[in-house]
A and B are shown apart, each in its own frame.
Chain A
Amino acid sequence: MAFDKMELRDIEVWDGNFAAAQALRQCQIDVVAAYPITPSTPIVEGYAKFLADGYVEGEFVMVESEHAAMSGCIGAAAAGGRVATATSSQGLALMSETLYQASGMRLPIVLNLVNRALAAPLNVNGDHSDMYMVRDSGWIQFDAYNPQEAYDLNFIAFKVAEDHDVRLPAIVNQDGFMTSHTAQGVKTLTDDAAYNFVGEFKPMNDMLDLDHPVTHGVQTEEDWHFEHKARQHRDLMVTVMPKIQAAFDEFEKLSGRKYNIVEEYDMDDADVAVVCMGTSVETAREVATEMRAQGIKAGVVGIRVLRPFPFMEIAEALKDVKAIAALDRSSPNGAAGMLFNEIAGALFNTDTKALLSGYVYGLGGRDLTKAHLRDLYKELQANADAGKVTTQLQQFIGVRGPKLAFL
Chain B
Amino acid sequence: MANKGWDEFEIGAMLRSFNGPVSDVALTHQEDRDYSENNSFTASVADWRIEKPVFNKDYCIDCQFCWIYCPDISIISRDKKMVGVDMDHCKGCGICVEVCPTNPKSLLMYSEQTDEEEALAAWPSKETGEK
Partners in one complex: yes
The yes or no answer to B122 lying at the interface (CB within 8 A) is no
B1-31 CB contact bits vs A (8 Å, 1 = yes)? 0011111011111111110011101000000
Instruction: Please determine whether B13 and A211 come into contact, CB atoms closer than 8 angstroms.
Output: no
From B6, B11, B12, B25, give the contact of A213 (CB < 8 A): B25
Question: How many angstroms from the CA of A106 to the CA of B3 in the assembled complex?
Answer: 21
Given contacts A211-B22, A211-B23, A213-B25, contact A107 B6 (CB under 8 A): no
Instruction: Please determine whether B12 and A216 come into contact, CB atoms closer than 8 angstroms.
Output: yes
Given contacts A211-B23, A231-B7, contact A167 B12 (CB under 8 A): yes
The yes or no answer to A319 lying at the interface (CB within 8 A) is no
Instruction: Please determine whether B14 and A227 come into contact, CB atoms closer than 8 angstroms.
Output: no
> Which B residues lie within 8 Å of A212 (CB)?
16, 18, 21-22
Q: How many residues of B contact A (CB 8 A)?
A: 20
Instruction: Please determine whether B15 and A215 come into contact, CB atoms closer than 8 angstroms.
Output: yes
CB distance from A225 to the nearest CB of B (A): 9
> Which B residues lie within 8 Å of A213 (CB)?
16-18, 22, 25
CB distance from B46 to the nearest CB of A (A): 21
Chain A stretch 209-239: residues in CB contact (< 8 A) with chain B: 211-218, 220, 223-224, 226-228, 230-232, 234-235
CB distance from A351 to the nearest CB of B (A): 33
Given contacts A215-B17, A231-B6, A234-B6, contact A104 B12 (CB under 8 A): yes
Given contacts A211-B21, A211-B22, A211-B23, contact A216 B7 (CB under 8 A): no
Question: How many angstroms from the CA of A316 to the CA of B11 in the assembled complex?
Answer: 32
Question: How many angstroms from the CA of A126 to the CA of B5 in the assembled complex?
Answer: 43
> Which B residues lie within 8 Å of A227 (CB)?
4-6, 9
Instruction: Please determine whether A214 and B16 come into contact, CB atoms closer than 8 angstroms.
Output: yes
Instruction: Please determine whether B3 and A223 come into contact, CB atoms closer than 8 angstroms.
Output: yes
CB distance from B70 to the nearest CB of A (A): 23
> Which A residues lie within 8 Å of B4 (CB)?
227
Question: How many angstroms from the CA of A115 to the CA of B15 in the assembled complex?
Answer: 36
> Which A residues lie within 8 Å of B7 (CB)?
231, 234
> Which A residues lie within 8 Å of B13 (CB)?
104-105, 217-218, 220, 224, 228
The residue of chain B having its C-beta at the shortest distance from the C-beta of A166 within the complex is B11
> Which A residues lie within 8 Å of B12 (CB)?
104-107, 167, 205, 216
Question: How many angstroms from the CA of A215 to the CA of B116 in the assembled complex?
Answer: 38
Instruction: Please determine whether A235 and B11 come into contact, CB atoms closer than 8 angstroms.
Output: yes
> Which B residues lie within 8 Å of A214 (CB)?
14-17
The residue of chain B having its C-beta at the shortest distance from the C-beta of A210 within the complex is B23
Chain A stretch 92-121: residues in CB contact (< 8 A) with chain B: 104-107
The residue of chain A having its C-beta at the shortest distance from the C-beta of B15 within the complex is A215
Most buried by B among A105, A218, A224, A231: A231
Given contacts A223-B3, A227-B4, A234-B6, contact A167 B11 (CB under 8 A): yes
> Which A residues lie within 8 Å of B38 (CB)?
215
Question: How many angstroms from the CA of A104 to the CA of B12 in the assembled complex?
Answer: 6
CB distance from B23 to the nearest CB of A (A): 6
CB distance from B22 to the nearest CB of A (A): 6
Question: How many angstroms from the CA of A37 to the CA of B10 in the assembled complex?
Answer: 36
Chain B stretch 26-65: residues in CB contact (< 8 A) with chain A: 38
> Which B residues lie within 8 Å of A218 (CB)?
13, 15
> Which A residues lie within 8 Å of B5 (CB)?
227
Chain A stretch 243-276: residues in CB contact (< 8 A) with chain B: none
> Which A residues lie within 8 Å of B16 (CB)?
212-215
> Which A residues lie within 8 Å of B11 (CB)?
106, 167, 231-232, 235
The residue of chain B having its C-beta at the shortest distance from the C-beta of A231 within the complex is B6
Question: How many angstroms from the CA of A217 to the CA of B21 in the assembled complex?
Answer: 21
Question: How many angstroms from the CA of A216 to the CA of B11 in the assembled complex?
Answer: 10
Instruction: Please determine whether A230 and B6 come into contact, CB atoms closer than 8 angstroms.
Output: yes
**Residues in B lying within 8 Å of A, measured CB to CB:** 3-7, 9-18, 21-23, 25, 38
Q: Which 3 A-B pairs have the closest CB atoms?
A: A106-B12, A211-B21, A227-B6
What are 20 A-B pairs at a CB distance below 8 A? A105-B14, A106-B11, A205-B10, A205-B14, A211-B23, A212-B18, A213-B17, A213-B25, A214-B15, A214-B17, A215-B15, A218-B13, A224-B3, A224-B13, A228-B6, A228-B9, A231-B7, A231-B9, A232-B11, A235-B11
Q: A213-B16, A213-B17, A216-B14 are in contact. List 18 more A-B contacts (CB 8 A).
A: A104-B12, A106-B11, A106-B14, A205-B10, A211-B23, A212-B18, A214-B15, A216-B12, A217-B13, A220-B13, A223-B3, A224-B13, A230-B6, A231-B6, A231-B11, A232-B11, A234-B6, A234-B7
